[in-house]
């Protein structure tokens, strides 16, 4: 694969996801929360995150292992697929039993258990889709993967949008309806993806191969541990809010209001890792230099992230009140804290992915375990005092540690020299970005949305002027010759 192909496929992936996923999160999903209320949505959000934390039982690291392995050995697709699909269904049964048992252990009532069951079904379908997509990505079929990546959300937009904008049905809409619609859309997407993968692999029948599965499970186990630890420190916040506070459902809903913007930005950044993992894996196999792609990806992610953080600090009140007319002071104050998490998350999507492709699972697992410990301890301390805001502080602290630790390991393993001029330039730009946006928000005479657009354009122009984002560098990559 060439650098040119990477950039063009990234552009397609970003274009489709920028059109669909932010509209889903900020349009449909947000409207659902406004319709059902913060407490009802908060209950759904906490249960959803619990099902997501335990999602590793559905996968055990198979998807990440498969993505990396198929990108290096595409001829193994047929052999792996026939056994792993059977294994996915077996893991689903184990997952559902444990998930429901945890629900009973937490003392959930019948309604919560029922919701948790269907959320578990959705997690299985999503896990199956991601596994099937890992085969598509591993074969470097990025265009096909790009369209599959938005199919479920597109279907949800069509169905939920039709219901929400119908006054008669929208008034009776519940979070249970929302969950059932997800089930339908994930089922359709899974079937479409399965047909594509079966066709590409020429699979004729499923075969149970216990010896091969033991080998795969042994190799994928480090991935499983990593994903479990990451899920804990990324998603346990709302589960702990629900468990530790009498008004936990309401606090979870408040947290979800601000988290929705981070989630929207995070979906786009995540796409970089989807493309970078097989690309890094193949380049490292052939002992090719990865610094150009990693630095480009870091700059393309980190600079827009800085701008988003600056805007979130300066316009947190205006943004939250626009999205949620009844937003309280607490959710307004949480937005800058959660959006600040986007900076270390973007770094992790580049350097964490590079370490994953390199097979540095031991180091990543140690970092993730420490991160999880930091997150749980801070949540236990801060949530009873600061409630949802305490969870946001814990999340920011955890993400910052995780990112810095990964950067240190990359620097050590790949013998990367510290570019102090770039660091000082980046720090200077960050200060200018945040300070400039804040000053402009106070003194520009236009309505706040116009001010926001002016600030965004200005800070992006400064990024190009200071060569933090180089058109010349991107042009050289687009015109690069094939690497293979």
What's the pLDDT at 221? 75
The model's pTM is: 0.79
- Distance between CA atoms of residues 237 and 387, nearest Å: 10
55, 236 contact by CB (below 8 A): no
Chain-centroid distance, C-alpha 254? 20
Question: Structural domain of residue 198, as residue ranges?
Answer: 3-478
| CB burial string 241-273: b at 16+ within 10 A, e below | bbebbeebbbbbbbbbbbbbbbbbbbbbbbbbb
The reply to whether 369 falls in a domain is yes
* pLDDT given at position 37: 86
Closest CA to 146 of 42, 266, 53, 18: 18
- Alpha carbon distance 395, 377 (integer Å): 11
Nearest to 273 by CA among 113, 60, 68: 68
Phi first, then psi: give them for residue 447, nearest 5 degrees.
Answer: -65, 155
pLDDT of residue 213: 66
Burial class of residue 176 in the structure, from the number of CB atoms within 10 Å of its CB (0-12 exposed, 13-18 middle, 19+ buried): middle
Of 349, 322, 356, residue with least CA distance to 265: 349
**Nearest of 315, 411, 414, 305 to residue 349 by alpha carbon:** 305
* Residue 356, CA distances (Å) to 141, 276, 350, 366, 404 in order: 21, 10, 10, 13, 16
Q: Is residue 204 part of a domain?
A: yes
Q: Is residue 155 part of a domain?
A: yes
Contact indicator for 463, 426 with CB cutoff of 8 Å: no
Give a yes or no: residue 362 inside a domain: yes
Answer yes or no: is 483 within a domain. no
pLDDT at 483: 44
Half-sphere exposure of 33 (CA within 13 A, CB side): 29
Long-range contacts for 452-458 (Cβ within 8 Å, ≥24 apart)? 452/311, 452/315, 455/307, 455/310, 455/311, 455/314, 456/307, 456/311
- Phi, psi of 473, rounded to the nearest 5 degrees: -65, -40
Average pLDDT per run of 10 along the chain, which is 484 residues long?
56 70 81 87 93 83 62 55 74 93 92 95 92 74 78 90 69 87 95 84 62 70 79 87 90 91 83 73 78 78 88 90 87 93 93 88 92 94 94 96 93 77 82 80 82 85 80 50 40
Return the H-helix or E-strand segment holding 84.
helix 77-105
Overall domain count for the chain: 1
pLDDT attached to residue 169:
56
Residue 484 falls within a domain, yes or no? no
Q: What is the pLDDT of residue 165?
A: 74
pLDDT at residue number 372: 93
If one counts every other C-beta atom within 10 angstroms of the C-beta of residue 415, the result is 7
């Amino acid at each position: 694969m060439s650098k040119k192909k990477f950039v063009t496929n990234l552009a397609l992936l970003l274009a489709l996801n920028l059109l669909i996923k932010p509209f889903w999160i900020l349009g449909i999903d947000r409207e659902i929360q406004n319709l059902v209320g913060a407490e009802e949505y908060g209950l759904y959000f906490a249960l959803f995150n619990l099902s997501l934390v335990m999602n590793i039982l559905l996968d055990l690291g198979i998807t990440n292992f498969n993505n990396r392995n198929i990108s290096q050995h595409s001829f193994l697709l047929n052999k792996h697929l026939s056994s792993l699909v059977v294994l996915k269904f077996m893991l689903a049964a184990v997952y559902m039993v444990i998930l429901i048992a945890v629900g009973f252990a937490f003392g959930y009532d019948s309604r919560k258990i029922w919701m948790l069951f269907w959320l578990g079904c959705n997690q299985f379908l999503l896990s199956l889709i991601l596994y099937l997509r890992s085969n598509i990505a591993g074969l470097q079929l990025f265009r096909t993967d790009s369209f599959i990546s938005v199919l479920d959300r597109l279907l949800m937009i069509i169905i939920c949008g039709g219901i929400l904008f119908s006054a008669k049905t929208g008034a009776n809409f519940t979070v249970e309806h929302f969950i059932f619609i997800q089930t339908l859309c994930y089922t359709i997407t899974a079937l479409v993806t399965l047909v594509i993968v079966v066709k590409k692999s020429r699979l004729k029948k499923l075969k149970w191969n216990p010896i091969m599965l033991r080998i795969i499970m042994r190799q994928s186990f480090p991935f499983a541990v990593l994903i479990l630890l990451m899920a804990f420190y990324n998603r346990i916040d709302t589960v702990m809010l629900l468990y530790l506070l009498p008004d936990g459902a309401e606090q979870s809903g408040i947290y979800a209001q601000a988290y929705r913007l981070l989630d929207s930005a995070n979906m786009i950044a995540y796409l970089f890792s989807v493309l970078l993992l097989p690309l890094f894996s193949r380049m490292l196999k052939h002992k090719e230099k990865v610094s150009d792609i990693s630095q480009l990806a870091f700059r393309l992610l980190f600079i827009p992230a800085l701008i988003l953080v600056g805007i979130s600090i300066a316009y947190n009140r205006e943004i939250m009140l626009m999205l949620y007319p009844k937003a309280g002071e607490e959710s307004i104050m949480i937005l800058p804290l959660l959006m600040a998490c986007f900076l270390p998350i973007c770094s992790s999507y580049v350097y964490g992915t590079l370490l994953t492709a390199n097979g540095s699972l031991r180091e990543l697992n140690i970092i993730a375990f420490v991160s999880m410990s930091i997150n749980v301890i801070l949540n236990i301390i801060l949530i009873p005092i600061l409630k949802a805001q305490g969870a946001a502080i814990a999340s920011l602290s955890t993400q910052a540690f995780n990112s810095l630790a990964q950067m240190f390991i990359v620097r050590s393993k790949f013998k990367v020299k510290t570019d102090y001029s770039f660091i000082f330039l980046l720090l200077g730009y960050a200060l200018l970005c945040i300070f400039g946006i804040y000053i402009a928000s106070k003194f520009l005479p236009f309505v706040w949305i116009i001010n926001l657009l002016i600030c965004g354009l200005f800070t992006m122009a400064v990024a190009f002027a200071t060569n933090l984002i180089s058109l010349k560098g991107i042009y050289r990559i687009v015109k690069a010759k094939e690497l293979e």
